[in-house]
Every structure is written in C-alpha cells, then in structure tokens.
Amino acid sequence: MNYWVSVTFRAIPLVMAALCLGFGIEVWTAADQPGNLVAGRVVTFLAAICVCLFCTAAVIIRQLIHRFNAVDKVVYPTLGYLTALGTATYGVVLASQGSSSGTDPDYIAGHVVLGLGLISGCVATVATASLKFSLIPVNSAKPKENHEPPDEAYPRGLGLGLVAVPVVLALTAWTIAAVNLALAGTPSRFTVGHVVAGLAMICTSLIALVVSIVRQVRNSYLPRHRVMWPWVVIAMGTLNIVWGIVLLVLDRSPAYQTPGLVMIGLGLVCFSILSKVGLLALVWRRTFPLANRVPLIPVLTALTCLYLAAFTFQAAVTDPNVFVAARVLTGLGAICFSLYSIVSILESGTSGSG
C-alpha cells in the first residue's frame, strides 16, 4: 500500500469524528430544547465510534506498510477502550440523572450514548484482534486442509477472550433494550427500547467481525464460517431496517417516527459492517475477482443515510417530531463512510491488491 494512500485511509475516520463532534456540539448548544439536547449529545458521541475505527485502521495499515511496532500494540487498543469507556460512563451518568417518564432528554440521550459506548468497545476489540492481522493473508495462502494455528498467533484462550468482549457488550445492549421495551409505557422508554435494540444489532454484527478476524488469525476459519457469520450480519441489518419501517408504517403516535427512522439508519450501518465480514469470507483461501468492488457497499450506505437525512431535514421544517432523526442520520452517514476506509484497507491487505 502506498504510504500517502495509507495516510488518507487513516484520516477518513478522524475527519468523520471531527465532523460528528463539530455538528453535534453545534446542535447541542443551539438551544436548550429536548430535541437539541438528545440529537446533539448522540451525534457528538458518534465521534467515539469514528475514533475507535481510526484505531482499527491504524493497527492494520501500520502492519501493511511494515511500520508496526511495540508502541502501536499498546497505544491504539488503549485509545479505543478508553474512548469506549468514557462514552459509556457519560451515558450511564446522564441516564441516571433522567426520568423514564414523559420524554426526558437525559434519559433518552443517556441510554443511547451508553449504547454508542458499547459499540465503541466492540470496535476497540476489532482493533485489538487485528494486532495479528498480518497473519491473515499468510494463513489464507496455506492449503485448504491446513488448520494448524501458527506459532505467532495469540493463544486460544486469548482468542476466546476477545470474542467474549463483544458478546458481553451485545448482551448488555439487548438487556437494556428488553427492559425498556417490556416497560414501554412512556415515550422515553419506548424510544430507548427500540433505538438501543438497533444498537444491540450493531454489537451483534461486530461479534461476527471479531470472530472472523480471530479465527483467520488462528487459522481456524472453516467453510461453515464463510456462510454463518455474513448471514448473521445480514439478519441484523435486515431486522433493523424492517423493524424501523414497521414503526413508521404503524405511526400510532409521534414517538414512533424517531426510532423508526434511526433504526433504518442503524440497519445501514450493519450492512456497512457486512462489507468487512463478507470480504474476509470471500477472499479466504480463494480469489474473488470483484473484491475491489466491496468497498462500494459502505459508500452506498453512507449516501443512503445522507439522502434520507436530507429528506428528513426537509420534513422537520413542518414536523418537529423528526428533528432528532434528521441529525442522527447525518452522524450515521459519517459512521458508514468511516467504515469505507476500513473495508478498503481490508481489501488491500487480504486480496493481494495492496
């Protein structure tokens, strides 16, 4: 990989983080209204996911350009986990200050920011699992019947530990969603239950990515995994989008509109993750001629998010109930585009095009 190309790919998630941070703070401080407080906080902390994606990009790229060192092995995973921890902590504190009655902005924003912290923790684990990324193309070139883990791979116990992290984080998100949906007697709980369920689906999709990386690093990626894990992500993305559409179609109250639109955006993020999980499956021990087209998937999902946000911004002129959704969809578009850089790096490192 060309050095300046590598700089560009590392810069993309940082630029997206800066855009989320700047736009989020602008919305957050524009007015002391519930919509501004919820949308501003959520978009601001979407930057945390971008930072963790930058850590993943840096870990992989520095291996591809042969500049990976002992400091990198510590700095990038640590930055990712600290970012995730800070985001989740702020979410917990904010949610604890709010009330589940009515449409309390602290309760809603706090739980959603906590969910973003859980996703950031999953992405930080992707970065940590990628510390041995250079072994993936080496293992992929071995005979199909060879499933012996290389000496340089991390031990089986560590691999299981890495997989356990997103599993625990996803279960946490699902639990929060289930509790709020079971007690969804107020708009706050209704919104939190649905949106956090969408965030839990992203965490579940990231389990598939971590498992794929861990197994390929340990040379234990089997034919059934090539089918199983991409379909897990497809199921999560489809469920998110269909769930969101159902909420919009039902539209029994204004509280249905924001979670409906946001869940569609979260489904698009799942399909952006699919490009990574699918690429790892498609190029494992075989040649996939269209591998360099896979990075177009997150570009398309990013554009879809942004166009949906544009229409929602226009709708918000006369319908304030979609004010929050318009801003959040813009931030989700930035997440999708950040994933474009990761998929491009994976394509360069695994398909032999780098």
CA 9 to CA 119: how far, in whole Å? 21
Q: Tell me the whole-structure pTM to 2 decimals.
A: 0.96
Mean pLDDT lowest for which of 32-36, 81-85, 246-250, 290-294? 290-294
| Predicted local confidence at residue 6, as pLDDT | 85
| Predicted local confidence at residue 351, as pLDDT | 59
Q: What is the mean pLDDT of residues 9-21?
A: 96
221 lies in which domain range?
3-350
Q: What is the mean pLDDT of residues 242-247?
A: 96
* % of the chain residues with pLDDT over 70: 98
**Structure confidence at residue 160 as a pLDDT band (50, 70, 90):** very high
| Predicted local confidence at residue 1, as pLDDT | 66
pLDDT at position 162 over 50: yes
Q: What is the mean pLDDT of residues 29-40?
A: 91
**Structure confidence at residue 199 as a pLDDT band (50, 70, 90):** very high
Average pLDDT along the chain: 93
The residues, ordered by sequence, that sit 6+ positions from 127 with a Cβ below 8 Å of its Cβ are 52, 55, 56, 58, 59, 76, 77, 80
| Predicted local confidence at residue 111, as pLDDT | 97
**Structure confidence at residue 18 as a pLDDT band (50, 70, 90):** very high
How many structural domains does the chain have? 1
| Predicted local confidence at residue 242, as pLDDT | 97
| Predicted local confidence at residue 354, as pLDDT | 47
pLDDT at position 169 over 60: yes
pLDDT at position 90 over 70: yes
| Predicted local confidence at residue 251, as pLDDT | 80
Q: What is the mean pLDDT of residues 108-119?
A: 97
* % of the chain residues with pLDDT over 90: 80
**Each residue's pLDDT tens digit, 264-312:** 999 999 999 999 999 999 999 888 887 788 999 999 999 999 999 999 9
